[in-house]
Amino acid sequence: MLFPSVNRQKSWLFFLLVILISLNLYFHFTFSGSLEERSRFLDGIFARALYPLQKLFDFTETSVHSGATSFSRMLEAESENKKMRVQIEEQELRLYELEKLRADNARLKGLVDFKQAQPLNFITARVIGRDASIFFKTIEIDRGFEDGIDNAMPVVSPAGVVGRVLRVGPKASNILLVTDINSKMDAVVQRSRTRVIVGGSVEGALTLRFLPRRFDLRQGDELVTSGLGNFFPPGFKIGVVLGLAQDPNLVLQQAELEAAVDFDSLEEVFVVKQK
Amino acid sequence: MSLEPLPQERQREVLKTTFIVIGLWTLWLLFISTLSYSHRLSMSAVAVVLLFGSFWWTLTEGAFFILLMSWIFHAFSLTPPGFYWISIFCVFAILKIASYRFSVRSPQELGIAVLIAALLCDFSQLIFLKQIAPIYVFSFSTLGFIILSAFLQAGLALLLMRPLLSLFSTK
């Protein structure tokens, strides 16, 4: 026995083990509860305690990576370059937002109850960590509630939708990527303006499931967020239809999407502060 | 005269070594979570810790330590700790039983042991995931990444074979 001084209380230790495991299984094994509820248990303590170390590791990794790839460059120029890149991405995002608003404006001009979309506010954040499991898709950013981040805030990049805020700490937050199996969102096919539900998968691909057989969807169709549910802002790119899986024996069909965002090389993201 | 350490000293050594191994594993998780690589590959190295545990822990001790590991892992992943605990403990139980019959002494045995343990870890999670996530659809690409990850972890274990072999053989 590992705990020699408590040999007499072996049964109590075993009882404690059973209680801990039961609680652990109760709170976390089921997928029926909301993700937010599941992520607020004891394990949040570990996430907060490990944040300074993670920040340190991220800093070390970034420094080594930067040194290896741009050995000949001056460090000051590199730093300036990074700042400019972030600024350009911010500008690109704002430009994209303006173009989207203009397109929406033209399309909806004739509608009576048209409500013009207000410009969005963004919080720029750096990706400092990724999910250690291959079955779940999350990232960690270096902004927390001290920076104004709140649960369920949408996260985007100039390329398209990234995900939503899942767990918020004081200085860091976890983002549930749209490619995660727990993720689902309302989308619109740009060509036909029909609505679909886009979900993630274990392998990290975006999928469209439960489509009727006669659903008007073609390879190359672009999907954007619909804005329904007041969750993701409308008009942000999600991905492009790669192909349809049509089985003549099935009533429904499914399709696979190529995500607009390259999640492997994601470095900076923008958290959307709603209006 | 026996050179075997007293049981209490031995137990203290087990506890100390275990916390060092779990601490190193936590640092490894920190390292890989901040590393820029395709995160479709599993590099968690939990198989190495389980192999160590199968030689050093009893089943009850393993249950406690794996509980701690599941909470630590949840700090780096969306993986629910209960789900992680049950899938990893199943693998630990298999490895524990296997440790009564097999040992790890040579680099080849180390590579094969890590390969099998890593495969078991990911497969057990895949099996449990299929039970709890009704929308999960099996794909061969996931299978490919699991196999590739297992080989990668076995390769990394061979790079660190000296300390690992000493960990597995001193028990």
> Chain B partners of A39 at a C-beta cutoff of 8 Å?
78
Pick A184-259's CATH classification: 3.90.550.10, 2.40.10.350, 3.20.20.10, 3.40.605.10: 2.40.10.350
Question: Is A4 at the interface with chain B, CB within 8 A?
Answer: yes
Structure tokens, B64: 């406690």
pLDDT of residue A175: 92
Please give the radius of gyration of chain A, using alpha carbons only, rounded to the nearest integer. 23
Whether domain B8-33+40-169 has CATH 3.30.420: the reply is no
Q: Which of B40, B60, B86 sits opposite A14 (nearest CB)?
A: B60
* Per-domain boundaries in chain A: 57-177+263-273, 184-259
pLDDT of residue A40: 53
Residue B91 CB contacts under 8 Å (≥ 6 apart), including other chains:
B47, B50, B117, B120, B121, B124
> In chain A, how many H helices and how many E strands?
4, 12
**Alpha-carbon span A7 to B23, nearest angstrom:** 26
Please tell me which residue of chain B has the smallest CA distance to A129: B34
Buried b (16+ CB within 10 A) or exposed e, B124-159: bbbebbeeebeebeeeeebeebbeebbebbbeebee
> Chain A partners of B38 at a C-beta cutoff of 8 Å?
264
Q: Which of B30, B41, B152 to substitute to test the interface with A, most A CBs within 10 Å?
A: B30
- Same CATH topology for A57-177+263-273 and A184-259: the answer is yes
**Alpha-carbon span A193 to A108, nearest angstrom:** 13
For residue range B6-35, what is the model confidence (pLDDT) as tens digits? 677 778 888 899 999 999 999 998 888 887
Please tell me which residue of chain A has the smallest CA distance to B41: A134
- 3-state DSSP helix/strand/coil percent for chain A, to nearest 5? 35, 30, 35
For residue range B34-47, what is the model confidence (pLDDT) as tens digits? 876 666 788 888 99
**Alpha-carbon span A43 to A35, nearest angstrom:** 13
Helices (H), chain B: 7-34, 46-56, 59-74, 81-99, 107-132, 140-159, 161-169
- The structure's pTM equals 0.71
Above 60 in pLDDT, residue A49?
yes
Which carries the bigger pLDDT value, residue A85 or residue A26?
A85
- Single-letter code of the amino acid located at A102: R
CATH topology of domain A57-177+263-273: Thrombin, subunit H (2.40.10)
Question: Is A199 at the interface with chain B, CB within 8 A?
Answer: yes
CB A54 within 8 A of CB B34: yes
> Chain A partners of B75 at a C-beta cutoff of 8 Å?
43, 46-47, 49-50
Q: Which chain A residues in 101-140 lie under 8 Å from chain B, judged by CB atoms?
A: 128-138, 140
